[in-house]
Every structure is written in C-alpha cells, then in structure tokens.
Amino acid sequence: MRKVALASSFTIDRIDLKGRIYERIGGPAYYASLALYMIGLEPLIITSLGNNVKKVRDLLPEYDLLNIVDTDRGCSSIYTFYHRYGENGKRYSEIHKTGCYVGLDKLDREVLNDTDWILVSPVYREIRPEHIAGLVNSKKVALDLQGYSREITDHGVKSSIENLQKHLRMLSGLYIIHLSSDDIQDIASGGDNDLYKVSGLISRALITAYTIGASGGYIYVSRGHSSSYVVGNMIRGVWHYIPAYKEKENGDPTGCGDIFLASMVGYMARGYSIIDSALRASIISGIRVSRGFPIPIDHDEIEKIAETLRRSIRRTYI
C-alpha cells in the first residue's frame, strides 16, 4: 500500500446545523487521513497529541487504523472550534482553544523514507513555513493554505488573502497549493472573478487548486510544470473549472476542502493524471456532503460518475 505523509492537527468541532449542536472529531488530520485511507493509501499522520490521545481516541473509532507520529508528547491543548453554517453554505467559525506546534523539525527524516508525498495542512499556523521549505527539494509537498489565512479576532476567526501573502513569503517550489473561498472571505465572490484575486499565489507551486464550497473548483498548472505526472488535455497557464458533484442541495460540507486536497494527492500518488485526480477529488467531496463521513468508497461508482462529470470541465481564461 502506498504511503502519503500528512502533517496536520486534529480538532474538536462543535457544529451548529440550524440550531442542532453536536461535538465530533475534526480537523484536516481527521478528514484528510481518512480520505487517503478510503481511496486505498496508507496515511502517516505527523501531529501533536500529547495528553489529548484519550479524547481523540474516544471520538475517533478509526484511531487504531491510523499510523500516528506524535511530535509533542507534552502537548496539553487541542484546537477546539465552533462552526455555524449560513443559508448559503458559508461557514462562520469561532476558535475556543488553540493546539500545539507540529514539529516537522523534530521529525526523524527516516520516517519519510518510503513516501514521495507529504501533505501539509495546518489548522492555525502550527506548522512553521521554514520547516516546510526544508522539504520541497526532497518531497512532493502539497500545502493547504487554510491555516495561514486565519487570524483570531474579537469577532471570531477571520480569513484573508493578506494573511496568506504575509505568512507564505519564504515558500516556493511547492508541488500543489490549495485554498478555498473560505480562506479569502474578505474578497471572495465565489466564481471566475476570484481567479484574478488569487493569481498572486500561483507562483508558489506547480499546481494551484481553488475550491468554492459545494460549487466545484479550479485547477491551474504552471507553464513551467515538468514532472512524471500526465497533464492530460489541460493547457498549462490556464485555469480549468472542475464541476461539483451534487446528490442533493443540502448537506454537511465540513471538511470538504481537506477531503478534496487529500483525494487529489491520493489519486496522483496512485498514478492518475492531474485532471483525473481533481475530478475524482470533487466527486468524493460531493459524496461527503450528501452521505456523511467516513463512508465506503465504491471505486466503480466513482469512475462512472467521473465519465459523466468530465463533460462539464471547461477552461477559464483570465
């Protein structure tokens, strides 16, 4: 089974869905690791748990399936969020407690010997950019930008593109970066116009993925892209719209961005082309909204849906 390393954090999420509030495990360490597992890969989770192991284990039935490397056994805190969704699906979040640093610099590099990919997905800057920069020459690094867009204010958690630009100055040579409309709430409109607004970030990586909640997303492949991965019928230097897969209008979109990027990385690690990987990532994210998470993946079903959905891919010139 192929391995993908995942540097990230678990969270405790208190979800408010139309007044119904419940607590569950969350965070990219949860959604991304199980998405990788569901599509047939072995996730190696690099995180900080410390004395939160029992809490995470109690909320996570799949805990014993996961290979977890704890970089801070003295950690005494875990990210705790309150999430509320508006009628338009937009998420409003408050952070009630922060977590511990995830020490990539403390990691024995032999742990990463049998994986080509490392997916880095911080919740709130708990992974230092300089430690990510030290990996780009030896690994294919996929970075979810969400944790670097966030700031904690008196009015809750706010995200902005200015935060991204400030915290990512030292990073380049990444294989994939992913951000969503939630990560640039200050300027996002949720369509093609957003591509102008995020264009200043595309020089950081060979591939840029921008997703818009349950409305699909866009993939950009740099003109300088050269790798063993098949670009397919994509044109370098042009955005490609990847349609959303919707089974019903209402559902729970929590974790869809984490699931999308993990699924895209997972399919690329299995040898799929960029466009085919993104398409299947969109399908799995859509299934999550309507069917819950985690769920069994029927790979034949995914392939059939992909053949239909492929017809709606379009190029977007800006």
- Contact (CB, 8 A) for 149 and 163: yes
116-134 pLDDT, tens digit each? 999 999 999 999 999 999 9
C-alpha distances in Å from residue 156, one per residue of 16, 96, 152, 159, 204? 15, 9, 6, 10, 29
Domain count for the chain, please give it.
1
3-state helix, strand, coil in the chain (%, to 5): 35, 30, 40
211-238 pLDDT, tens digit each? 987 678 999 998 765 554 545 556 678 8
pLDDT at 190: 76
* 227: CATH: 3.40.1190.20
User: What percent of the chain shows pLDDT beyond 70?
Assistant: 94
**Owning domain of residue 136:** 3-316
- The Cβ-side half-sphere exposure at 224, using a 13 Å CA radius, reads 8
- Characterise 219 by phi-psi region: left (phi > 0), alpha (psi -120 to 50), beta (else): beta
| CA geometry: angle 31, 192, 289, nearest 5 deg | 25
pLDDT at 228: 45
| pTM metric for this prediction | 0.91
Cβ count within 10 A of residue 252: 16
Q: Which of 287, 285, 264, 262 minimizes the C-alpha distance to 276?
A: 264
Highest mean pLDDT among 9-23, 76-90, 285-299: 285-299
- Residues 34-61: what's their mean pLDDT? 95
Give the three-state DSSP class for 44: strand
- Contact (CB, 8 A) for 315 and 235: yes
Give the three-state DSSP class for 151: strand
